Amino acid sequence: MRISVFGIGYVGAVTAACLCKDGHHVVAVDVNDVKVNEINDGLAPIAEPGLAPLIAEAVASGQLRATDRSEEAVHTTELSIICVGTPSRLNGSLDTRYVLKVAEEIGTAIAAKTERHHVVMRSTILPGTMVESVIPALECAAGGVAGRDFGVAYYPEFLRESTSIADYYDPGTIVFGKLDEDTITKLRSLVARIGVEPIVVDMTTAEAVKYTNNAWHALKVSFANEIGNVCKGSRIDGHEVMRILCSDKRLNISPAYLMPGFAFGGSCLPKDLRALRYKARTIDVATPVLDAAMTANEIQLDRAFHMVASTGARRLGLLGLSF
């Protein structure tokens, strides 16, 4: 396939190199001349194990080149992948100006193209951004309807810096956010070599999956650190404790307790969380993650109460009385 990759940052450089390794032809697009020149000189624009030889080989074989001209890139390819940055603004909100600018550029190029084009978003964007902002920007510039006149999909990236090439070929999961069937068919052919069956959902769900993944990873790191701190303060080996926790694949590293629903309760979890937090206070260790778990649980109980109370019903039936 002939593919244009917009944004030669971490994600774009790795994506472009791996696509070339898989036999595709890639035009990499960036507004940064230094990165464009580096690619055209066969050099990797970022330091990442294994990337430099892939870029050198792809440029030498004529499969990879870079440009700052988006229109030419769209016209010489059949599918564009957007990998530009989506940084935080000072107030924490997501700055989508680069993805919207690129969507507008690609849309303008599509307007002047006769063959069908496909646009795939890989940048991390909040749920609803494709439907509410990116697709309208593409349609406005292209003068057409997404899904009918050109293809669109959202394909979140889960790579980790420093192991990104290995992650590209061995992903935990592949998720496609779908608008039209033929863009999904193109994406399926791109990942066929990887051997992981993609999960196809609507675009907003795919956007939500990316944020949920990252929030989960952040929560895991902070939980492990907090347990490590409590253990250290009690002269216990926190590494061993967490290693044993992770060895339980039935209740701990498993889907158990990971379904949205009602609050936790029963005779153990609230009592034991309270005691662990009290113990941590006595050794001057802060436990914001455990504290938040208790607060979140109280809020969940309140939500449930208000959901019931707001029905106005006076006679209630309870299904399930295990606790």
Ligand X SMILES: NC(=O)c1ccc[n+]([C@@H]2O[C@H](COP(=O)([O-])OP(=O)(O)OC[C@H]3O[C@@H](n4cnc5c(N)ncnc54)[C@H](O)[C@@H]3O)[C@@H](O)[C@H]2O)c1
Kindly state the smallest distance separating residue 299's Cβ from ligand X, in Å. Answer: 29
Which of the stretches 28-36, 190-198, 246-254, 285-293 binds ligand X when contact is defined by CB under 6 A?
A: 28-36
Which of 18, 83, 231, 268 is flagged as catalytic? 268
Among 27, 102, 138, 290, binds ligand X (CB under 6 A): 102
Contact flags string 253-292 toward ligand X, x per CB under 6 A? ----------------------------------------
Contact 155, 186 (CB under 8 A): no
- Going across the sheet that includes 175-178, the strands are 64-67, 25-29, 2-6, 79-82, 118-121, 151-154, 175-178, 199-202
Per CB under 6 A, the segment of 10-18, 233-241, 278-286, 289-297 that binds ligand X is 10-18
Kindly state the smallest distance separating residue 105's Cβ from ligand X, in Å. 6
Question: 151-210: which residues touch ligand X (CB under 6 A)?
Answer: 157, 159, 161
Site for ligand X in 32-51 (CB under 6 A): 32, 35
Shortest spacing between CB 158 and ligand X, in angstroms: 6
Q: Does 67 bind ligand X (CB under 6 A)?
A: no
70: number of Cβ within 10 Å: 22
Select the residue whose beta carbon is closest to ligand X and give its number. 9
What is the pairing mode between strands 151-154 and 175-178?
antiparallel
246 catalytic? Reply is: no
* Token pair 């080989």: residue: 57
Of 29-37, 49-57, 137-145, 261-269, the segment contacting ligand X by CB under 6 A is: 29-37
Site string for ligand X, 119-138 (x = CB under 6 A): ----xx--------------
- Comparing CA positions, the residue from 165, 134, 133 lying closest to residue 53 is 165
Quick check: 12 binds ligand X (CB under 6 A)? yes
Q: What is the sign of the dihedral through the CA atoms of 63, 148, 144 and 6? A: negative
Q: Which stretch binds ligand X (CB under 6 A): 9-17, 51-59, 72-80, 234-242?
A: 9-17
Site of interaction with ligand X (CB under 6 A):
6-12, 29-32, 35, 83-86, 98, 101-102, 123-124, 157, 159, 161
Which positions are annotated as active-site residues?
Answer: 268
